[in-house]
Structure 1
């Protein structure tokens, strides 16, 4: 447990980026590097996370800070190809592509909610995204993998790290792609990724507090990831403090 040791949080321009200051101390990464953030909106978000801490610092709810630390300590992604490959591995077991074969009510619900997500990506990227049911694992066509690989290579290092977290949060490359392109809200994306869980709990119930905590954590991590992708791709855009609070405290 770390007690809050600072009063004021500010950001300053430095070396082509932005630093976060805790009183007179520069915020540093776990490896001891000064945290230099290329995007002003992300720097504002990191500052807001530190500003909103209470008497003790809870690093587990500082999702933008965690992503920024990861990028800064990697000092440029030398493993971009590996990250992209792991992201695309989700396609063969993607939440929306790996369907139930029973009961009929769940099958119908998945078709209703998920078919449009798959169809729209297939049309946009001119690819095939196989959907399967039961225990069979779909084989992803080489053209699909190649097309999405080239698409992901277009993202900056910092944006790619955010995208990777979005995919991991949702266990779905398909839903994550809609989310980072802001075609789904955070709430919609998480709800779609939890469709089967929601169906089962509607029948059998759930441990309410645990379900709520898990869902809230997923929303917070996804919100940070989407912000990270967007504002590291559009560094000229601005966002005010109240907007960040809405995202951080989803």
Structure 2
């Protein structure tokens, strides 16, 4: 017997100028455990589907409950920006699953020019923070997964050992949702190492986010806070934290 058709979530992203967010069309949101042991989200008894029309089925009850909470929190209109876990799951099912090798290769490319490998020579506060926060992560990567990185001062490109990139590739997960979360954290932070450290529990989401933004931290100490830039950074952190939460539920 085929699955009943279900509502399709709005596509990820913000509404374009002049367009309206879709109206909320449901009252009840709940998690249903399937006979196979996965968990799907239903709106008024109908299963949610991704924008690609796949069933939105999750391997973790905790993750499904977070998706339920995002749908339940919507007001008169549905704003996908306020639904980071839902967007991540949609991306994993529709985008990452059929493009696994390509997504994994993107993470490896980031590792090849990882943020942690490019050091400032000034101001002194930034130099110290990079040493205090980034060096232990490089030590962790060497001890935990056998990846050794070369450092550069400034923006001069430094090529990483092929063996290091092979080790990073081998450390990546096969499961699409895990890979989607790692890819998102890598892109948002500019560092595959930060993403891996959060996944493995070496860093919390907050610690990982700070490690990725110590340059901005020092700039704000010196020159004050750019309110608009800080707001954009906070918005991106919600996506980063959602990816970290998703990985934590799948350990």
Give unpaired runs (5+ residues) of structure 2. 1-20
Which 10-residue stretch deviates more, 11-20 or 116-125? 11-20
Structure 2 residue 134 is matched with structure 1 residue 118? no
Matched residues in 2 for 1:178 and 1:34: separation? 31
Structure 2 residue 54 is matched with structure 1 residue 33? yes
1:87 — aligned with what?
A: 107
User: In structure 1, the residue corresponding to 2:52 is in which secondary structure?
Assistant: coil
Count matched residues: 230
1:127 — aligned with what?
A: 147
Q: 1:47 Cα shift?
A: 0.7
Pairing of 1:58-77 with structure 2 (within 5 A): 58-74=79-95, 77=97
1:51 — aligned with what?
A: 72
- Give the structure, 1 or 2, with the largest relative contact order (CA under 8 Å, sep 6 or more): 1
User: In structure 2, the residue corresponding to 1:184 is in which secondary structure?
Assistant: coil
1:99 — aligned with what?
A: 119
* TM-score, with length taken from structure 1: 0.85
Structure 2 residue 26 is matched with structure 1 residue 6? yes
Q: 1:215 to 1:135 in 2, by over 3 A?
A: closer
Pairing of 1:200-215 with structure 2 (within 5 A): 200-208=219-227, 210-215=228-233
Residues 148-177 of structure 1, C-alpha deviations (whole Å, 9 max, x = no match): 11111x442221111111111211111111
User: In structure 2, the residue corresponding to 1:19 is in which secondary structure?
Assistant: strand
Q: 1:15 Cα shift?
A: 5.4
Give unpaired runs (5+ residues) of structure 1. 235-250
Matched residues in 2 for 1:6 and 1:94: separation? 44
1:239 — aligned with what?
A: none
User: In structure 2, the residue corresponding to 1:101 is in which secondary structure?
Assistant: coil
